[in-house]
A and B are shown apart, each in its own frame.
Chain A
Amino acid sequence: MSTATDPAVAAREPARALPPRQRWRPAFEFWWVQYLRTWKGSVISRFLMPVMFLVSMGLVLGDLVDERAGGVEGLPYLQYVVPGILAAQAMWVAMGESTYSVYGAIRWNRQYHAMLAAPLTVRDVLLGHLAYVALSVTFGTVVFVGVGALFGSWSSPLVLLAVPFVVLTGMAFSVPCFAFAAQVKDNTDQGFALLFRFVMTPLFLFSGTFFPVSQLPGPLQAVAYATPLWHGVDASRMLATGRPDWAGLGLHGLYLLVVLTLALWWAWRAFHRRLVV
């Protein structure tokens, strides 16, 4: 407790505003502490769902596909589809972490407001939370790579190089969700349900995850190529199957970075508009 006359106060570590470059860290730490408190509730959706896809699509459906069609693009279906699911789970985890929690930190528990009343700024609040999502997506991706290895889903150790591409893919979905969650008015449940139903699920199905995009009708192909997920899926597949086209990888990375940058600008604006009033 502070008193001007208490000699103990002089020796106390003083409170201060952190230097601007470090201020995102305590915001990140908040989400990390919160995750440690609540991780149990998310184990099923975070880890078990992707693994279930791996088993059902890769192993069970894979046998069928290989038997009837002799694999896809010259690969056993397991090794074709699991790299796609790797990228898709990153999108899945990233979007799951970037909707209700952002909205809640603005409207329900209002944790962002608590941070902003302290010496953090909107930028710190945004970056700290995104850093946590990035860590979370990385963690999910690494776990998935490990589980995939157990089932023999990777034909090349280059799959390890896929991790940064996959995380980037996740973040290319996370950041626009932050912006959307900050912008959305009331009836969020509806807004987010629409997002999951009409954005996430179709992308999951039609971005080359389960079958080559070239089998889609022309206009849908164009849509698939424009969304970040296909770039992540293609990069992941090139590396996991040991057939990297380095120029293509570079373009995928560049594309994802451009999406990320534009989305950051959008999210930053949306956060300012919502939080600085």
Chain B
Amino acid sequence: MIEASGLVKRFGDLVAVDGIDVSVQRGEAFGFLGPNGAGKSSTMRMVGAVSPPSAGVLRLFGMDPATHGPQIRARMGVVPQRDTLDEELTVSENIRIYGRYFGLSRAETRRRATELLQFAQLTERADAKVEPLSGGMKRRLTIARSLVNDPELLLLDEPTTGLDPQARHVLWDRLFRLKRRGVTLVLTTHYMDEAEQLCDRLVVMDGGRIVAEGSPRSLIECYSTREVLELRFAEEDLTGHARAVEGIGERTEVLPDRLLVYVADGDAASSEVHRRGVQPLSSLVRRSTLEDVFLHLTGRTLVD
């Protein structure tokens, strides 16, 4: 559905996307994971056929967005990073007018609005204005609206950023349903749990480049250990402690507030730390996540 090679986006002197190769197949849930400024949105806007690539080749449904933009966009749904809802119109009107952009008849847009509001659990708000809705509801409305054309491919740019945990889970549930229905999902996120939950395959982006690619599990296997031992200390400066625990794990990462020791067996490592006489305020054993993969690949955390 998406074939991109050597894709570049420049804004003046700034290179936002620096030559990426991506290929997404029908039915996949594909993710771009990366921190703010990594170039995720710039990539999504090119893939959404609204932003012309500065260089590289891009084919969407086998078509060139430079010449077939409308035909391409007719077949996909877009949830942009910032909502583009009309706040003065009602919830239902927002969906209906959007359906008209896709050449649907008024009767058909009414039918679909009813369906989609049910799907987005917004039926009771159908005739309310958009402006006072909560962030989670607006996001659900944007997703509902993006589905008005029965898209084969749905692009979601940070679908849950800024939402509270409960609202995020409601949204994830809706996205799972879409995935089960066979809609191809492409999403960006800087939440590793979101990427792990939703994506079959993902790329890790940093500074406009792809630094790793694979399934969440294979990325963790490839770039991290099974478990992580997190140690917190009373002291500000952790370099001394880092030296003391050296060699216990495959790697040690020093974060501003804690040490991360990468090991296969966290409990064993914890005993070893105590045996060496290191006394952390707290120690915690957890499974490795994509956050650890990112830290390993870039030396930085995803969310700061």
Contact = CB atoms under 8 A, between A and B. Distances in A.
Contacts of B52: 276
A116 interface: yes
B150 A9 contact: yes
B251 to A, nearest CB: 41
Contacts of A276: 50-52
Contacts of A114: 84-86, 98, 101
A69 B254 CA distance: 90
Interface in B247-283: none
User: Is chain A's interface secondary structure helix, strand, loop, or mixed overall?
Assistant: loop
A221 interface: no
B98 to A, nearest CB: 7
A16 B108 CA distance: 13
B102 to A, nearest CB: 4
Interface stretch (B72-80, B207-215, B284-292): B72-80
A120 B71 CA distance: 10
Given A3-B182, A18-B103, A117-B50, A33 B89 contact: yes
A109 B86 contact: yes
A12 interface: yes
Interface in A1-15: 1-4, 9, 12-15
Contact of B88 (A9, A29, A37, A121): A37
A119 B71 contact: yes
User: Is chain B's interface secondary structure helix, strand, loop, or mixed overall?
Assistant: loop
A13 B74 CA distance: 13
A150 interface: no
A33 B93 contact: yes
A34 B90 CA distance: 10
Contacts of B90: 37
A247 interface: no
B105 to A, nearest CB: 6
Nearest to B149: A15
A110 B80 CA distance: 11
Given A1-B181, A118-B101, A118-B102, A109 B85 contact: yes
A117 B84 contact: yes
A227 to B, nearest CB: 33
Contacts of B105: 13
A276 to B, nearest CB: 7
A277 interface: yes
Contact of A17 (B73, B93, B152): B73
B73 A119 contact: yes
A111 interface: yes
Contact of B70 (A12, A14, A121, A277): A121
Interface string A243-277: 00000000000000000000000000000000011
B118 to A, nearest CB: 9
A111 B150 contact: no
Nearest to A23: B70
Nearest to B79: A117
Interface string B3-25: 00000000100000000000000
A34 B86 contact: yes
B221 interface: no
Contacts of B119: 1
Contacts of B245: none
A37 B102 contact: no
B32 to A, nearest CB: 18
27 contacts: A1-B181, A2-B147, A2-B151, A2-B181, A2-B182, A3-B181, A15-B74, A15-B102, A15-B149, A16-B102, A17-B71, A26-B100, A30-B86, A30-B100, A33-B89, A34-B89, A37-B88, A38-B88, A109-B84, A111-B86, A113-B50, A114-B98, A117-B48, A118-B74, A119-B103, A121-B69, A277-B11
Interface of B: 11, 48, 50-52, 69-71, 73-75, 78, 80, 82-90, 93, 97-105, 108, 115-116, 119, 147-152, 181-183
Q: Which 6 A-B pairs have the closest CB atoms?
A: A15-B149, A118-B101, A17-B70, A2-B150, A119-B70, A15-B102
Given A15-B149, A120-B101, 13 more contacts: A2-B151, A3-B181, A3-B182, A13-B104, A15-B99, A15-B102, A15-B103, A23-B70, A27-B101, A37-B88, A113-B84, A121-B69, A276-B50
